[in-house]
Amino acid sequence: MAKKEIKDEEPIVDQQELEEAELQQEETQEQEPKEENEAAEQEETPAEPTPEERIEQLEAELAKANNRYLFLVADFDNYRKRTLQEKQDLIKNGGQKVLEGILPVVDDIERAIEAITQGGDLDSLKEGVDLIHNKLMSYLKANNVEPIESTGELFDTDFHEAVTTFPAPSEDQKGKVIDTVQKGYTLNDKVLRHAKVVVGQ
């Protein structure tokens, strides 16, 4: 009797089942990192504060802002008071330097009056008064005070004040200043006093 060779039967595997198994394995592998990432995100995300904690936080921020506001108000009030005091001091003592510069001229005038009283020489007195006048004008110029040119100039309301009009001696003097009644001055190119003039008509 011939012996039959017994061979192991190979299992029959359905191709479709094999593909489904591989697909399911891939999905499982993809899902595991996602779950791990979600768990890590949940651990990193801080828990939202409770309403009581939020109220405490807002109250602290409000107190901080209120303190800063009070500090700014106090600082501004101090600045306002200091500025007001400086302004008052400036008004009170602002002319001190100018007046100190005029005092030497006053001394010269007093000496001239004393010389007149003692009956000094008229030519010497006139020369002394001229020196005093020149000294005063030099001081004014040093402080940016300049006389306004008037006589012979065209009448300009920005610098001149007409006190009266007079028939012009010639046609070319019409509308011009014929005479200066009171000299005008400017301070830093701004009119300090208008010149009072007679205008030709």
136 and 108 Cβ atoms separated by less than 8 Å: no
- In degrees, rounded to 5, the angle at the alpha carbon of residue 135 between the alpha carbons of residues 132 and 138 is 150
Cα dihedral 152, 154, 155, 157 sign? negative
pLDDT of residue 41: 54
Q: What pTM, to 2 d.p., does this model score?
A: 0.54
pLDDT of residue 38: 57
Strand stretches in the chain, DSSP E: 145-147, 160-166, 177-182, 185-187, 190-193, 195-200
40 and 33 Cβ atoms separated by less than 8 Å: no
Run of H or E including 184: none
> Does residue 44 or residue 155 have the better pLDDT?
155
| Residue 55, helix vs strand vs coil | helix
pLDDT of residue 34: 53
For 133-177, write each residue's pLDDT tens digit: 999 999 999 989 999 999 999 999 999 999 999 888 888 888 999
Beta strand 145-147 pairing with 195-200: unpaired
pLDDT of residue 194: 95
For 60-73, write each residue's pLDDT tens digit: 999 999 999 999 99
Q: Taking residues 116-139, report their average pLDDT.
A: 87
Reply yes or no on whether the pLDDT at 12 is more than 80.
no
Determine phi and psi for 121, rounding to 5 degrees. -65, 130
pLDDT of residue 40: 52
Tell me what percent of the residues of the chain surpass a pLDDT of 90.
Answer: 49
